[in-house]
Amino acid sequence: MSDLVSVVFGREDIRRRIEELGRTITGDYEGRAPVLISVLKGGSMFLADLIREIGLPLSIDYMALSRYGGAAESMGRVRIVKDLDEDVGGRDVLVVEDIVDTGLTLSYLISVLESRAPASIEVCTLLDKSARRIAPLEIRYRGFDCPDVFVVGYGLDFQERYRNIPDILAVQDLSALVEDPDLLLPYLPAGGRPVAAEG
Ligand code: IMP
Ligand code: MG
């Protein structure tokens, strides 16, 4: 592809894996009506595709979190920017994430949700960067184990961009992308022509 990026998980691999996850979840939760909670914004694409592979009367809800500073300095302290609409007390909760990296964000979220007394709480993440885990976490469902590289696409962003790349790309040269954030435009759908200059 290039020295800059490579496809780690292509759209067809992602589609097939989500189909499998959906089938497993459908079987595991038979007779129940779980609430799937997505953490904005990255997890929303995965949630949208996942629920269409689950044959259960489920509901969905969203939460937005923001971390104080970087992982190390924040020590996992996270602020709730947008809370759930529904009460999860007594419900079977499945948290749906795009990627679990250090696990600090997710372990905070789980402690918040546990304090609301759900019937059960499990995690489904598309990508697991297990090599970087700081906070111990039990992950019931994982799409793929992710190599310890910066990835973008399928919901994952670089500076809020590129969530709409259909494949998941590994960025080999992150400093080049920091230098020129336009470098991944060719990987957007239809070749991602840059925004035209006015006039
Ligand atoms: P954690 O608290 O370190 O597990 O943070 C997880 C969050 O960091 C994810 O929900 C992503 O928003 C972000 N993140 C971690 N690794 C990557 C990556 O490789 N690309 C894009 N975002 C990432
Ligand atoms: Mg995220």
Spacing, Cα 78 to ligand 1 middle (Å): 14
Q: What is the pLDDT of residue 199?
A: 55
Which residues neighbour 26 within 8 Å (Cβ) at sequence distance 6 or greater?
53, 54, 55, 56
Neighbours of 41 (CB within 10 A): 15
The candidate with the shortest Cα–Cα distance to 124, out of 104, 100, 97, is 97
Q: Are 157 and 128 in contact (CB under 8 A)?
A: no
Q: What is the pLDDT of residue 67?
A: 75
Q: What is the pLDDT of residue 194?
A: 64
Q: Which residues surround ligand 2, an ion (CB under 5 A)?
A: 42
Residue of the nearest CA to atom 22 in ligand 1? Answer: 156
Measured from CB, residues less than 6 Å from any atom of ligand 1 are 42, 71, 98-106, 150-152, 156
pLDDT of residue 190: 82
pTM summary value: 0.92
Please give the number of the atom of ligand 1 that sits closest to the Cα of 101.
4
Provide Rg for the chain, Cα atoms.
18
Q: 141 CA to middle of ligand 2, Å? A: 16
pLDDT at 179: 96
Q: Enumerate the active-site residues.
A: 101
Whole-angstrom Cα distance, residue 123 to residue 142? 8
For tokens 């971390």, the residue is 67
pLDDT at res. 77: 72
Task: Give the C-alpha separation, 27 to 48, whole Å.
Answer: 19
How far is ligand 1, taken at its centre, from the CA of residue 119, in Å? 28
Question: Looking at residue 73, what is its pLDDT?
Answer: 55
Question: Tens of pLDDT along the chain (199 residues)?
Answer: 678 899 999 999 999 999 999 999 999 999 999 999 999 999 999 999 999 999 999 999 999 988 776 555 556 678 899 999 999 999 999 999 999 999 988 999 999 999 999 999 999 999 999 999 998 899 999 999 999 999 999 999 999 999 999 999 999 999 999 999 999 999 999 877 666 666 5
